[in-house]
């Protein structure tokens, strides 16, 4: 069974790998033998993740990348290609949120969140998947969605809309890339308190979340590692594409 999830010899690109969820997933991939490019706009945070991976015996390198800029993404791809020769796994985990009510929403804020959550995912996938296809490299693309992508949550209108788009893009690309041996799936995390959502987690909202989460607790970022490693491994999930893997403590199963 250990060989089923072995990623030795693989290279993973973790977009947003300096964030709470992205960094945990990146560490999980590294623990299974993949060398990981940690990408983020905050290079200092990315370097800290690299140090943690290296301290645990893994291989990683930090890279600056702005997913809302094609020029930045193209430059990023060239730098990672020079470092690794190519990649087999692409993790799209960049994310941005805001609690702005619908009628108070300005289009600048809408554009900013969409640029990171949806446009950025499309841009990075265009650039990185194209190079995979050119090199005839099979592999796995893992997108990070949200429970708000299927049932919109209050107070996060733009975020919910962007993550619904992530689901649609995931299924579209699964069909488009299947002939090239590239699988595209998404993880739907439940509630994992991070920097981007702590500002909307009032006591009242926490009580509401727990009331709709059968496991009655928040998730631990490390609990996303198994799902990501499974989707990254061609041996474990070689016939899995266009699907959504929930890691939400049962949130998606709750009705009343």
**Which position among 64, 159, 180, 230 bears the catalytic label?**
159
Alpha-carbon distance of 40 to 46, in angstroms, equals: 6
CB 58 within 8 Å of CB 231: no
Alpha-carbon distance of 23 to 145, in angstroms, equals: 16
Is 64 part of the annotated catalytic residue set?
no
Residue with tokens 């699907």: 243
Sheet holding 244-247, edge to edge: 60-64, 35-40, 11-15, 89-92, 139-144, 182-189, 244-247
**Which of 131, 224, 218 has its CA nearest to residue 180?**
131
Q: Which of the residues are catalytic?
A: 159
């Amino acid at each position: 069974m250990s060989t089923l999830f072995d990623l030795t010899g693989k290279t993973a690109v973790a977009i947003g790998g300096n964030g709470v969820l992205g960094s945990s997933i990146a560490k999980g991939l590294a623990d299974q033998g993949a060398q990981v490019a940690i990408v983020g706009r905050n290079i200092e945070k990315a370097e800290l993740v690299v140090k943690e991976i290296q301290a645990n015996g893994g291989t990683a390198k930090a890279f600056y990348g702005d997913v809302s800029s094609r020029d930045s993404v193209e430059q990023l791809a060239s730098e990672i290609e020079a470092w690794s020769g190519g990649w087999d796994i692409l993790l799209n985990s960049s994310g941005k949120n805001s609690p702005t009510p619908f009628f108070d929403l300005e289009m600048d804020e809408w554009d900013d969140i969409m640029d990171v959550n949806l446009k950025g995912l499309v841009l990075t996938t265009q650039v990185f998947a194209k190079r995979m296809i050119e090199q005839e490299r099979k592999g796995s693309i893992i997108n990070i969605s949200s429970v708000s992508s299927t049932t919109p949550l209050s107070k996060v209108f733009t975020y919910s809309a962007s993550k619904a788009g992530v689901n649609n893009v995931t299924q579209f690309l699964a069909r488009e890339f299947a002939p090239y041996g590239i699988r595209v799936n998404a993880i739907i995390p439940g509630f994992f308190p991070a920097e981007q959502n702590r500002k909307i987690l009032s006591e009242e909202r926490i009580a509401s979340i727990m009331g709709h989460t059968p496991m009655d607790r928040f998730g631990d970022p490390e609990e996303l590692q198994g799902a990501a490693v499974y989707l990254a491994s061609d041996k474990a999930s070689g016939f899995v594409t266009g699907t959504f893997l929930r890691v939400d403590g049962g949130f998606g199963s709750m009705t009343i």
